[in-house]
Structure 1
């Protein structure tokens, strides 16, 4: 009889274990990212998941698939990580001089999360969600969806991702979380309500296709307006209800007038001192932004900007001030010889 990959892995064959688990590695990272909101935390959790799976392989009784078993371990590791970070504050960001900016449209509860580089999605297996999934893959990676998840309690977050994103049946989710079907359904309904309704918003279906000529044209106009400090052209690109947010800062600006007022209050505005370098995050166009050094031909990292598009307009501008994100996106810390 030919020995199976699982049998060889149980016997201590590391190559067989990698053969067994590697097909799920990237999707597990994306799963952990949705729950944790951090690329690095997600990667650390996947490493812990694979180590726990290797150590616990002898106890795997094949009542579920290897994939479901790995999701069980990964989800519970995520919940443990969220409990730990709930007890221990995140390291403070480097202090920055407060900006003299206009009063925001809204001050919201801060939500800490990071964008996810599209480059890491290139080797993601094209696995269709289960029949009970309610979100398409693109919707379930959208920055707005990930941001919304971070406001949910950890268990609701996990249940919603397992049920509505991955399409696991309720009974299987209950087994994954060592819970009851009633508890899972209750958590799911509360999570759906908190995210704003029974069905996900479909506005992004009206957005230009990724990397299409329509998207490139709209994004190019945004770059041109910002790099030239042209407030009229910037305003013309925004939807009437567009938002500018800067997580984890609690400041949010809505509408072209408020957003334009924010940009015009920045010290560099009007000096054509900004440069934008394209990348992609969460399936959306994004940029590393750089401020020119007034004393040398160098521009320094000045945060990552992610755009949400709707039709031929921009419905959201999300700015992340952590320059430590740049290496994840293959972006340099400085631009030279400008």
Structure 2
């Protein structure tokens, strides 16, 4: 059925027609909300609110833009509203009293950051961006990009994503945000400058996903990390490697301080089972502690690995609360 016919039926109160009209955009809208908010749970909530707002406001849709563009307008403004009233996940203190980590390089600000399962990206990044796009869709879902964007003021964040990720023209963005093209140009200039300050630069590209080159690095990481071999792990690090662990705000930048951190936590008896998955287009691993005899392995969290050439440029460790989103259990039974 043509979109125009679905739109007519939806305006007449046909909920199934509305579902069919909006379903093709559902996943990409959720990714958009995630880029805006940095949290999978917040993105899901914003998506539901977006669809509810769109259903209620369908009578006001005049058809001057495509349904997709109109939905992005609704979603962006819903996210901006959420940011104005956001109750962000608070920072959490270091939780292992038996380990004293070294002094961090910095205290991270984006403690609400969550990893985005690659399974949810299927069909979400296929839409061809507009002519103004500057970032590839895969680059713009990476943890580094998502984290850097979270540090921009909300309106600058919206403008940058709409312009440089989705490729909407300045006039379209101005209409979405009830603003002017001059205001959009100004916000975009400031947003680009802020993003460039925060994004790591000068790194070699990562090996392509699911290639022999990526798998070779993954194998080395798994052997070192699972066994607690600090020297082998550090040998994989880039000079400016970054280690973070939201919602714990401690961050370590540089091979030397990262080595000191892992030396403090990878104590005698460290032994993990690692279950591979993917998050934000990157390799990720759920970690389960070696149990006492007859006890299940308890999940300790999910680590997302960023490769740059043949080195690791970033490790982001999330707590075990994210595991169910990846279809992974909080504990493993058996040997």
Mapped partners of 1:139, 1:108: distance in 2: 22
- In structure 2, the residue matched to 1:38 is 39
Mapped partners of 2:201, 2:228: distance in 1: 33
Mapped partners of 1:257, 1:199: distance in 2: 21
Q: TM-score of the superposition, structure 1-length normalised?
A: 0.92
Cα displacement (A) at 1:64: 1.1
- In structure 1, the residue matched to 2:12 is 11
Assess, with a 3 A threshold, how the Cα gap between structure 1 residues 185 and 200 changes in structure 2: closer, same or farther.
farther
Aligned length: 332
In terms of mean alpha carbon deviation, does 303-312 or 5-14 score higher? 5-14
Q: Spell out, residue by residue over 1:287-330, the C-alpha distance to the aligned partner (whole angstroms, 9 max, x if none).
A: 11122233544211111100000111111111112x21101011
Residue 70 (1) aligns with residue 67 (2): no
Mapped partners of 1:247, 1:92: distance in 2: 8
- In structure 1, the residue matched to 2:267 is 269
Residue 192 (1) aligns with residue 189 (2): no
Residue 337 (1) aligns with residue 334 (2): yes
- In structure 1, the residue matched to 2:168 is 168
- Check conservation: 1:112, 1:150, Cα contact below 8 A: no
Mapped partners of 1:220, 1:310: distance in 2: 16
Mapped partners of 2:198, 2:283: distance in 1: 28
SS of structure 1 residue aligned to 2:277:
strand
Mapped partners of 1:9, 1:224: distance in 2: 55
Mapped partners of 2:52, 2:104: distance in 1: 46
SS of structure 2 residue aligned to 1:45:
helix
SS of structure 1 residue aligned to 2:325:
helix
Mapped partners of 1:137, 1:281: distance in 2: 14
Cα displacement (A) at 1:66: 0.6
- Check conservation: 1:36, 1:82, Cα contact below 8 A: yes
Q: TM-score of the superposition, structure 2-length normalised?
A: 0.93
Mapped partners of 2:58, 2:6: distance in 1: 12
In terms of mean alpha carbon deviation, does 273-282 or 291-300 score higher? 291-300
RMSD in angstroms over aligned alpha carbons? 2.2
In terms of mean alpha carbon deviation, does 18-27 or 3-12 score higher? 3-12
Mapped partners of 1:23, 1:308: distance in 2: 30
In terms of mean alpha carbon deviation, does 99-108 or 125-134 score higher? 99-108
**Which aligned segments of 4 or more residues in structure 1 are displaced greater than 4 angstroms?**
91-95, 197-202
